Structure 1
Amino acid sequence: MACQSVSIINMDEQALLGLNPNADACYRQKAMVYFEQLKESQDAWEVCAEALAKGIYRDGTQQLIRETLMKWLQGQLMNSQPEKPFIRNKAAQVFALTFVMEYLTHWPKFFFDLLSLVGLNPHGVDVYLRTLMAIDAEVVDRDILHSPEEVRRNTLIKDGMREQVIPSLVESWYQILGAYQQSHPEITCQCLEVVGAYVSWIDLNLIANDRFVNLLLSQMSVEDLREEACDCLFEIVNKGMDPTDKTKLVESLCQVLQSAGFFNVDQEEDVDFLAKFSRLVNGMGQSLVLSWTKLAKGGDVKAAAEALRALETKVPLLLQLLVHDDDDISANIVGFCYDYLNVLKQDVMLAVMKKLTYDEEYNFDNEGEDEAMFVEYRKQLKMLLDRLAQVSPDLLLEAVGRVFNNTIQRWQTASFMEVEVAIRLLYMLGEALPASHGAHFSGDTAKTSALQDMMRTLVSSGLSGYQHTSVSLEFFETVVRYDKFFLVEPQHIPNVLMSFLDHRGLRHSSPKVRSRVAYLFSRFVKTLHKHMNSFIEDILSRIQDLLELAPPENGFPALLTSDDQLFIFETAGVLIVHGESPAERKQALMRSLLTPLTDAFRLLLAKLASEREEERQAALADCLSHAVGFASRTSKAFSNKQTVKQCGCTEVYRDCLQTFLPALSCPVQRGSLRSAVRSFLHRMIICLEEEVLPFVPAASEHMLKDCEAKDLQEFIPLISQITAKFKDQVSPFLQQVFMPLVLAIFEVLCRPAEDNDQAAALEKQMLRRSYFTFIQTITSSGMNEVLANQGVENVERVLFTIIQGAVDFPDPIAQKTCFIILSKLVELWGGKDGMAGFPDFIYKHIVPACFLAPLKPSFDLTDAQTVLTLSECALTLKMIHLRRGPEFIQYLQQEYLPSLQVSPEITQEVCQVLQQPDAKVLKNYMKAFFQRAKL
């Protein structure tokens, strides 16, 4: 038969016959031509694969293909020279495709046939190993996309192989590895690659046993084999398995490797091998990390600790490989390094969480030194947690979430220490998470979701009823820390409100809890009052008894202290003011809130006036002060948007003022009563605006009687506040009260005091500062007529006190204020149309003050506050030049500076600088001028 050319469009059966060693020369030549074309063609193997995969040949043909393949393989066994590698690879692919098609149906003994034929013949073993790799590519390789039908077929093939042939294949690998280690290292390497490929899906016990592993480890010492042996061990280590078993496997491998000297990285010169070894160490390290993570999450503390110990013993080796000069070796270990750092962070987090826990001996009712030390220690732990959060916020969130959820699921049976620390960790996240997590419930969805889930669990778990002080406190602290959560999920507000109001919160058996909850409740309401409109009157009703003034003769201990009640009154005010009721309803609610206070105040004030016993007087005065303080606190609810007038509450607060003011003339316990009423007046100036003005003269008259330094010092800010706010409206009143106030101040300042009475000296210093601040307020408010209309003698007297304050008292804060006043007075009265006689006062007193004050030894130019004073002094000189012009320059040149023995050159300098427009130049020059002058 003549030989013909062959086409590769369809699989040529005759060409396959040519593979038979006994075939005619013509067929053999035809087969060679055919496979040469297959070799060159890009799509030829699609044809082959399609033919085999679809089974388009009849049974006889399939039998022919099987026989042909086995005969070809038999020929390989007898040939002294093997076929070229590409022929062997193609043949292996044909074997693999035939296997995939035939194994489950017509050729279940595929491997047994192959193994019985091949034996330990090196050429046959080569094709056998290539075939196994080709089968792995077809059946196992996850990088190849398979159809659902192919996936099902591949699963059946693997199941069949596991059941029928895998032990025999593993035995063949063992024999091959032992037989060819010395004579055919390339076959041994192929076999190691096969083991590495198949270990991922076969029973690991067939490989991970002493016999097999010892063989592999022995090959780690053979130069031609050790890189492949490393890769094979890497695949074994990467095999998914029980974490405890994995830890044992890795440890046993490490012990043998270390005993054999492989951990002595510095002594190894083969960088290619070290790169493979580094990859193996990386795999072992990451496997241990995975084992630790699974065991820790599963709660197996003992096994997790063993995995962690195993991990820690690898760190020296990790560091040796990480710092190696070769970058490939170093790069291969980075994954282990990163994972280990994560473990360290998690381990530290777990340790911190454990150490945050109270011990059973902690005395919550009577906290002593030990308890204080633990609280301080907790702060240090929190700082550590914050630092960890900066590095790994996600890790912290996950760790806290795990502890929190595990504990809250079983809170009814968990100890108070466990429950408290679980909530505490959630609370700590608020500060620990970086700023990017900001509002906690907006932004990063993952973080938001985690926090939101934990908060939802907290408020819906029933945990608010846990009977322990520490847990109760932590619950309310956390609810308020994350009050923005309730803006996102307002459906939880009613339940949480009830926990604040009942025995879990404001009526808790512990005074400590009640006290803290009073404050936290006010914060909660301030944030969420818009969502409480339908509950307002119910809440006010429930807290009614907590708003009662407790008179001293009551004898029953109140649920809340007066300080705690302040927060409840403020909360009540917020609910009323920010509710959606009409103004009339708000007025009625506010009146019902404040009327009990004013009624009680009148009765108690009458008792105080007739009381002779000092202790009882003090108790009554305290109670009266509390009543005023409570009323004052309710006014904090008002804002620019919700004013007293808009809410219809003006009359209510006017009535309060009317009730409280008589206390100013009470002859006993004057200090505390005046202080309380004065504070209320401050609030009313802000809230009532001009409605407060009719009350001011009488109040001032009472407060100026029989004053002490402290009384005056506290009264002046009130007058300053009125002056700054109402300006011209209060000018007549100020003109009337000005000199009585100034004379009262002078009288107190002139009282003799002992030289060593530092408290009295400080009181006088503070009063002097307040006095100068008051004068500054009047002048800067454009109300110079208040001072100007006091008569010449009184004006002069006041002016001299300001000059004295600028020069004589070594108090840079007061001195600065005095120079600001002088500068303002020069601006107001120093011009051509200013106050008569004032220009003369400028030259006789203000100009000398500007030079004499900085020349004083007590005027310290290295002190920052004193330098600010010097700046105001320079600005005063600048203002004099602005108002008096060349006349002032002439006075300095011809009279004043020569009188100070200043040289003509320096005098000229001073005058030139004064005439420059830039005030900063003058300030800098004056500082240098006085520094030179004081040398």
Structure 2
Amino acid sequence: MTIDEEVVNTLTSRIGSKEENTLNINIKDRMREQDVPALANAWYELLTEYKERSLDFAEMLLRIVGVYVAWIDISLIVNERFVSLIYSFLLTTSIRNAAADCLTDIIKKGMKPLDKLQLISILGIVDVLQQVDLSSDSEFRGRVARLVNNLGLQLCQIWQDTNPQANSTYPPTANPTAYSHVSQLVPILLQFLRDEDDNVSEAVFGFLRETLNIFKTIKKATGSLPQEQKALLRQILESIVMKMKYGENMEWVCVAIAGGSESVGTIGEDSIGDEDMLNFLEMRRELKRFYDQIAALSASLTTTFLHSAVTTTLTTFVNEKASDWRDLELALYLLYLYGEAIKGVPQFAVVAPSIGVNGGKNMNPISPAGAPLTPLGECLFEMCKSGVSAYPHPSVSATFFEIACRYSNFFEICPDCIPDVLEAFVDARGLHHPLLANRTRVWYLFWRFTKDLKVKLSPFIQTVLTSIRDVLTVEASLPPILAPDFDLSTYKDQTFETKTYLFEAVGLLISQHSIPAQQQFEYLSVVVNPFLTEIQASLEACRAIQQSSNGIIGGVSGVGAGSPRHRDLELVWTLHHRLMALGSIAKGFPDVLTNKKGVSAGATGGPCAQIFKQVGEITLVALETLSRFEVIRSAARFTFGRLINCLGQDSQFYLPPLITGLLQECSIMELVEFLPFMGQVAHKFKATIISILNGLLFPLVQKVFFFLNQVPSGTDEAMALVELRKSYLAFLMGLFASELENVLVTEANRQHLNLILQSVLHYAQDMSDVPVSRMAFGILLRAVNSWGSQGENSGGITPTVVNDNKSGSVSPDLSERLEAPGFYQFMYEHIIRITFEVPMKPTFDLQDGQSMLVLGEIAGLQKAMAQKQGDVFLSYLSQVYLPSINCPADLAQEYVQALQQLDTKQFKKYFQVFIQKSRS
């Protein structure tokens, strides 16, 4: 072993010097010539002698053989006497682990495919393994499973190497011989795959994967799988499914089957450890990949198996009512997985092709009277009608709801099943489930189900709302002891964040067009009024505290539950939750349609609008009362982001006090989120919002510059400033996209236009953040498109003023585009300059994809200036600017001609070549 560690081991060769490695190679060569045959004979003699006298010594000898076999003549070990001796050790309890490992090392020896195939044939391991007792020792089973896995991997690789489709240099008998060995080994593979010890099962996953790859290659070559492979595939599928089943000593945990974050809640006191459970779930995910491979190889086999497994299990449940939860959970889990495994849109009913019934969300499924269901449709129908969701183990109902959401379009085909599912959703199986983990997941699933089927759910809305009224509440609690530096704005309540899906689902249900407006009003009142009352009471309590100066809202601190600080922060936290709940309900309502001018296309004063106006008013009161708290500002911004869509123009009345309250004490990240909010407002209302934007623009820009001019105190703040730059530029881009760039040049803002343009210019030149640079150039492009036609003496025009019929205020008339004072000079002094300077910078990476997008934006900007300014711009380039940067006259003339004659796409290619040549 010492010789191996110091001379042979690959790690030694990696860290040794060149001279040491050369010496080691010479030692190995000399050993092969003179010493190794004697060593091999000595190993055999010693193993024969000590297999009875000292098993420990014999075990060490087997390890030595395994180490040396990688580089010595294989025939010294693989011969009748030596192999027979090793095989005999497999029957000796104390030494069989080492014997299995030694055989694994022999199998792994690097050899040419035909030599390895001959070695495997000589060894005859499959025949030996059939005689070995694998019943008791899981560690030994794991060693043998590792041997089988390595043997299988070698055989699969030989099969791939000798495949006539890929390589015709091998004898024609090599490939079928390799496959024959694989097929003989598969039954042993399946035995280990079904082993009760997960570690043993996982040890053969590699061989299983490559076996399925062989089947895939065969199918690709022949168009379909031969019957022999289909039979093996069926056995593999059965073994995989058997292994997916929870073990007898396992307890289920509530997880989101579709992936993502896991909400874990164990059932029972004898649950296995979390690590074991996570290992099982990870193994299930790996088994699912095999399941998907099999489905891709034979969809019909998978469908037939699924139908049999699910219907048999459900029939047993219906008839006996005493099924094991593990059987039911497995059957439903398979039904859930089927939707991912089978490619294409799930089919629920067998109909003529012209009818086109399917489960696609972008289609319009119909209900064909009397059309027979597909196997998948039958499974879903049986699931809904069997009452399996009432089984008392939480795993069953949890998986039931996951399936109902995955195949929600099935209920378009079979609407008679909707009441069964809705009843389960609203009772103790779903939204009223005693386990928080289950309830939390169902909140989200109920939202998905409602969103997909809201039209079909109209007849059941009153029953649903009555059944869930008691869960439409918020619970906001804080840790019993608060640290002195506790910050409410960074505290997360994941449970409540998930519950907002439930509130949005309620909004989706109530807002159905098929429900009369007055009925919608009554439903919405029942849901919203309790929150309005509670918020009003909380605000009165806050005012009382402020007046008494007894608490953090009034200035007093504390740490423990019951202290003024804890009590008041919990009150603020509760207010935040209630406002968020109201905003989530509003989110479920459809947007009020607006025309191109931002004017509401339909009536906005319906009964529900009156309720949402109350929500807006009380939100403003909460913001005014508690604007110092970031969580209240955040909740107000969220709620109004939804109310704007519900109320349309009617929400504009609330915007000035809202904006004032949000900006008064906002943080960097709040401003990052506020700018998209204002972009949403601008896009929604366009010209009708001009009076608000006109007064807001420069104070907002000042706030942005105040933060951007700060030196970041740490990594988090530096990242926040990067996000603020992006939000600021996106806001400016949004103004142009919404055709609101005139707000930049109104009487109130034109004096600040140069400051804004200079900031955009600065970020365009900063290649330390390439995406930001691209955004800035995009803004300059839009500015040129808007104002680039004006001449040198343009000083802007005084905008016409019109009277706002609603408020009596005056607003600029945006029916005609206003000129931008000084933009002509800005374009010639700065924009032209940076379009050449930026790509010529050493930091501009012409090999970087993002930088090339910037280069394309710059080329488009130059093309836009040429189109807007015409000969004036082209003459300036050829006679003034290009000569000033020492560009030869002939090249300058060529450049101007390209700019004038090529289209934008062609010029971008030319510009790239021009920059590359100029830099070289």
TM-score scaled by structure 1?
0.60
Q: Match of 1:766, SS?
A: helix
Q: How does 1:83-482 map to 2 (within 5 A)?
A: 338-363=226-251, 364=253, 365-366=265-266, 368-411=274-317, 412-435=321-344, 437-438=346-347, 448-482=373-407
Instruction: State which of 756, 759, 775 in structure 1 corresponds to 2:732.
Output: 775
**C-alpha distance in 1 between matches for 2:384 and 2:605:** 37
Aligned twin of 1:884:
869
Q: Which moved more, 1:827-836 or 1:725-734?
A: 827-836
Does residue 615 of structure 1 match 2:566?
yes
**C-alpha distance in 2 between matches for 1:726 and 1:516:** 37
Q: Could you say if the C-alpha distance between residues 355 and 641 of structure 1 is closer, same or farther in structure 2, counting changes exceeding 3 Å?
A: farther
Instruction: State which of 508, 526, 536 in structure 1 corresponds to 2:461.
Output: 536
Is the CA contact (8 Å cut-off) linking 2:750 and 2:820 kept in structure 1? no
Alpha-carbon shift at residue 653 of structure 1 (Å): 0.8
Does residue 673 of structure 1 match 2:658?
no
Does residue 630 of structure 1 match 2:581?
yes
Q: Could you say if the C-alpha distance between residues 616 and 869 of structure 1 is closer, same or farther in structure 2, counting changes exceeding 3 Å?
A: farther
Instruction: State which of 673, 683, 687 in structure 2 corresponds to 1:724.
Output: 683
Does residue 548 of structure 1 match 2:507?
no
Q: Could you say if the C-alpha distance between residues 341 and 567 of structure 1 is closer, same or farther in structure 2, counting changes exceeding 3 Å?
A: same
Is the CA contact (8 Å cut-off) linking 2:777 and 2:854 kept in structure 1? yes
Does residue 583 of structure 1 match 2:529?
no
Is the CA contact (8 Å cut-off) linking 2:627 and 2:662 kept in structure 1? no
Deviation string, structure 1 residues 856-909 (Cα, Å, up to 9, x no partner): 222222222221222121122122222222222222222212221222232222
More helix by share: 1
Is the CA contact (8 Å cut-off) linking 2:627 and 2:661 kept in structure 1? no
Is the CA contact (8 Å cut-off) linking 1:628 and 1:676 kept in structure 2? yes
Does residue 571 of structure 1 match 2:505?
yes
Is the CA contact (8 Å cut-off) linking 2:686 and 2:740 kept in structure 1? yes
Does residue 817 of structure 1 match 2:772?
no
Q: What letter matches 2:681 in structure 1? A: I
Q: What letter matches 1:398 in structure 2? A: T
**C-alpha distance in 2 between matches for 1:504 and 1:582:** 31
Q: What letter matches 1:916 in structure 2? A: Q
Q: Match of 1:627, SS?
A: helix
Q: Could you say if the C-alpha distance between residues 452 and 784 of structure 1 is closer, same or farther in structure 2, counting changes exceeding 3 Å?
A: closer
**C-alpha distance in 1 between matches for 2:605 and 2:412:** 27
Alpha-carbon shift at residue 818 of structure 1 (Å): 1.9
Q: What letter matches 1:356 in structure 2? A: M
Instruction: State which of 519, 536, 539 in structure 1 corresponds to 2:444.
Output: 519
Is the CA contact (8 Å cut-off) linking 1:547 and 1:565 kept in structure 2? no
Is the CA contact (8 Å cut-off) linking 1:716 and 1:771 kept in structure 2? yes
Q: How does 1:588-737 map to 2 (within 5 A)?
A: 588-608=522-542, 610=545, 611-612=551-552, 613-639=564-590, 645=604, 648-667=607-626, 670-737=629-696
Deviation string, structure 1 residues 177-210 (Cα, Å, up to 9, x no partner): xxxxxxxxxxxxxxxxxxxxxxxxxxxxxxxxxx
Is the CA contact (8 Å cut-off) linking 2:592 and 2:645 kept in structure 1? no
Q: What letter matches 2:590 in structure 1? A: S
Does residue 486 of structure 1 match 2:411?
yes
Q: Which moved more, 1:767-776 or 1:431-440?
A: 431-440
Q: What letter matches 1:376 in structure 2? A: E
Is the CA contact (8 Å cut-off) linking 2:633 and 2:661 kept in structure 1? no
Does residue 853 of structure 1 match 2:833?
no
Is the CA contact (8 Å cut-off) linking 1:441 and 1:485 kept in structure 2? no
**C-alpha distance in 1 between matches for 2:527 and 2:855:** 53
Q: What letter matches 1:877 in structure 2? A: Q
Is the CA contact (8 Å cut-off) linking 1:388 and 1:396 kept in structure 2? yes
Q: How does 1:893-932 map to 2 (within 5 A)?
A: 893-932=878-917
Q: Match of 1:491, SS?
A: helix
**C-alpha distance in 2 between matches for 1:436 and 1:571:** 26
Structure label with greater radius of gyration:
1
Q: Could you say if the C-alpha distance between residues 539 and 922 of structure 1 is closer, same or farther in structure 2, counting changes exceeding 3 Å?
A: same
Q: Which moved more, 1:783-792 or 1:566-575?
A: 783-792
Q: Could you say if the C-alpha distance between residues 543 and 865 of structure 1 is closer, same or farther in structure 2, counting changes exceeding 3 Å?
A: same
Is the CA contact (8 Å cut-off) linking 2:785 and 2:864 kept in structure 1? yes
Is the CA contact (8 Å cut-off) linking 1:591 and 1:652 kept in structure 2? yes
**C-alpha distance in 1 between matches for 2:622 and 2:534:** 13
Q: Could you say if the C-alpha distance between residues 437 and 640 of structure 1 is closer, same or farther in structure 2, counting changes exceeding 3 Å?
A: same
TM-score scaled by structure 2?
0.61
Specify every segment of 5 or more residues in structure 2 that has no aligned partner in the other structure, as ranges: 1-179, 181-186, 188-213, 254-264, 267-272, 358-370, 481-492, 546-550, 553-563, 594-601, 795-818
Aligned twin of 1:865:
850
Q: Which moved more, 1:489-498 or 1:895-904?
A: 489-498
Q: Which moved more, 1:735-744 or 1:680-689?
A: 680-689
Q: What letter matches 2:832 in structure 1? A: V
Is the CA contact (8 Å cut-off) linking 1:644 and 1:688 kept in structure 2? no
Specify every segment of 5 or more residues in structure 1 that has no aligned partner in the other structure, as ranges: 1-284, 286-291, 293-318, 324-333
Q: Match of 2:712, SS?
A: coil
**C-alpha distance in 2 between matches for 1:350 and 1:550:** 46
Q: Could you say if the C-alpha distance between residues 517 and 826 of structure 1 is closer, same or farther in structure 2, counting changes exceeding 3 Å?
A: closer
Residue correspondences, number:
601
Q: What letter matches 1:838 in structure 2? A: F
Q: What letter matches 2:380 in structure 1? A: M
Is the CA contact (8 Å cut-off) linking 2:348 and 2:410 kept in structure 1? no
RMSD of aligned Cα (Å): 3.2
Deviation string, structure 1 residues 387-413 (Cα, Å, up to 9, x no partner): 212222222222222222332222323
Structure with more relative contact order (C-alpha pairs < 8 Å, separation 6 or more) = 2
Q: Could you say if the C-alpha distance between residues 389 and 337 of structure 1 is closer, same or farther in structure 2, counting changes exceeding 3 Å?
A: closer
Aligned twin of 2:753:
795
Is the CA contact (8 Å cut-off) linking 1:404 and 1:423 kept in structure 2? yes
Q: Match of 1:915, SS?
A: helix
**C-alpha distance in 2 between matches for 1:693 and 1:908:** 54
Is the CA contact (8 Å cut-off) linking 2:590 and 2:645 kept in structure 1? no
Q: What letter matches 2:281 in structure 1? A: V
Identity %: 29
Q: Could you say if the C-alpha distance between residues 424 and 685 of structure 1 is closer, same or farther in structure 2, counting changes exceeding 3 Å?
A: same
Q: Match of 1:688, SS?
A: helix
Alpha-carbon shift at residue 702 of structure 1 (Å): 1.5
Q: Could you say if the C-alpha distance between residues 811 and 440 of structure 1 is closer, same or farther in structure 2, counting changes exceeding 3 Å?
A: farther
Alpha-carbon shift at residue 641 of structure 1 (Å): 9.2
Deviation string, structure 1 residues 585-631 (Cα, Å, up to 9, x no partner): 11121122111112212222343453424433432233222212211
Aligned twin of 1:842:
827
Is the CA contact (8 Å cut-off) linking 2:856 and 2:908 kept in structure 1? yes
**C-alpha distance in 2 between matches for 1:517 and 1:884:** 61
Q: Could you say if the C-alpha distance between residues 670 and 520 of structure 1 is closer, same or farther in structure 2, counting changes exceeding 3 Å?
A: same
